[in-house]
Amino acid sequence: MELIPEFIKRRHGEVRIDYEHPLLEPLCRETYGIMVYQEQVMQAAQVLAGFTLGSADLLRRAMGKKKPEEMAKQRDIFVKGCASLNKIPAGKANQIFDLLEKFAGYGFNKSHAAAYAIVSYQTAYLKANYPVEFFCAMMTNDMADTAKLSLYINEARFMGIEVLPPNVNESQVYFAPAPCSAASPKQSSANGSPQPENTSLAIRFGLAAIKGVGEVAVQAILKARSEGGKFQTLSNMCERVDGRSVSRKVLEALIKCGACDGLGQTRATLFAQIDRTMARAASIIGDRQRGQSSLFGALEDRSSRMPEAITSLPEWPDHDLLANEKELLGFYVTGHPLNPYAHILKSYALATTATLAQVQNRGLTRIGGLISAVQNGISKKAANPTPW
């Protein structure tokens, strides 16, 4: 892996191509003197030390497994073979063996490497020309891993792609392309280059990617939405979806992450109504299934309305909103905990996590951020190790 920069320089003619031994030139000419494929390691052992292809494959496997006893045995055979077959001195033979060992530690056979290269080109093409669809597929593939989701979302935003929060009236099961929100016009790329036409699309968060919301519940929600149109209120949604699939826990997760924000009430209000709404919906669904209706339906509707005390509750504090979003989605939707301190960070921070690697000579610097996890360990460098 450390020879990749050297490989690129040789490929572009920036440095001279050298071979460890003239006999290796026919084997390594196509890869500019650097061994890339497992077959090259096997052929080198065959040509230099007289190994059969079978014994060369055993050598390759021993190198890959890094067993010291087996490696010492194979080294001795290789050095003796090089001396008897090609009069290569022991020092040079050992040097070549060290190189073979390094290459075999991380190498593919040629057909495997070619297949990976094709997939890499295809992936790069899709990311460059269909970035929204590309990220939707990536996020769907890793939607159970909130850490990876956060990385993909940050990368998409860096490319100027808007990531829309989940919405019970807009989202699909998985991540899907969607029109950009009216409040967020098309963004330009981070490096100012022109964007593909379909970056006017955004990525809509998939409902199944919300922690605590399974695909069965999502399918029930989408089925009710397709049959009866968008949900108007929380009561309307509970009366139309299958209560056996959409449990209280599911509703809590949908409300806390903001997926029900389009229903016209604060999250605090919706959350406080869950029990009453589900009980009333279960009663209505039961009556509907039994074919019953009341002559006093209008009166019952008025008497079953939510108490005024829980129909217009003030919204939860920002830190609670953000904490719920981070827990259930893996990223912040309505803001960021550090937004109130942005002007302080801008004034006093000397670096960011993106520019930290550019600090010269590992010198002192100053950054601002939010600690999301703490790792405990023991330093082995100090004479008297102390926890850090």
pLDDT of residue 311: 74
Question: Which of these ranges, 14-23, 76-85, 327-336, has the smallest mean pLDDT?
Answer: 327-336
pLDDT (0 to 100) of residue 131: 96
For 240-276, give one letter per residue: b (16+ CB within 10 A) or e: bbebebbeeebbbbbbbbbbbbebebbbbbbbbbeeb
Percent of the chain with pLDDT over 90: 55
**Whole-angstrom distance, CA of residue 147 vs CA of residue 329:** 10
Average pLDDT over residues 260-287: 91
- Residue 71 scores a pLDDT above 90: no
Strand partners, 387: 378
Q: Ramachandran region of residue 307, left (φ > 0), alpha (ψ -120 to 50) or beta?
A: beta
Residue 107: pLDDT over 50: yes
Q: Is the pLDDT of residue 183 over 70?
A: no
Averaged pLDDT, 21-46: 92
DSSP string, 143-180: TT-HHHHHHHHHHHHHTT--EEPP-TTT--SS-EEEEP
Lowest mean pLDDT among 120-129, 217-226, 271-280, 350-359: 350-359
CB 255 within 8 A of CB 285: no
pLDDT of 238: 94
Supply the mean pLDDT for the chain.
86
d(CA 327, CA 23): 60
Mean pLDDT, residues 330-353: 87
**Strand order across the beta sheet in which 176-179 lies:** 163-164, 201-204, 176-179
User: pTM for the complete prediction?
Assistant: 0.73
Give the Cα-Cα-Cα angle 380, 385, 388 (nearest 5 degrees). 90
Residue 223 predicted with pLDDT over 50: yes
What pLDDT shows up at residue 125? 97
Instruction: Give the strand pairing for 163-164 and 201-204.
Output: parallel
DSSP 8-state symbol, 203: E
Mean predicted confidence (pLDDT) in 65-85: 88
Could you tell me the two tokens for 221?
Answer: 């929600």
pLDDT exceeds cutoff 50 at 346: yes
Higher-pLDDT residue of 310 and 152 is 152
Q: What is the mean pLDDT of residues 199-205?
A: 87
When pLDDT is averaged across residues 266-287 and rounded to a whole number, the result is: 91
How many angstroms separate the CA atoms of 19 and 142, rounded? 43
Question: What letter does residue 89 receive in the DSSP assignment?
Answer: -
pLDDT above 70 for 266: yes
CA distance 339 to 359: 25
Task: Specify the amino acid at residue 14.
Answer: E
Give 96: exposed, middle or buried? Use CB within 10 Å, 0-12, 13-18, 19+.
Answer: buried
Q: How far is CA 279 from CA 214, 239, 285, 306, 327, in A?
A: 22, 10, 10, 12, 28
pLDDT for position 309: 55
Please state the rounded mean pLDDT for residues 73-82: 93
Q: What is the pLDDT of residues 280-334, one digit of tens each?
A: 998 888 887 777 655 555 445 544 556 555 678 999 999 999 999 999 998 888 8
Rounded to an integer, the average pLDDT of 69-78 is 89
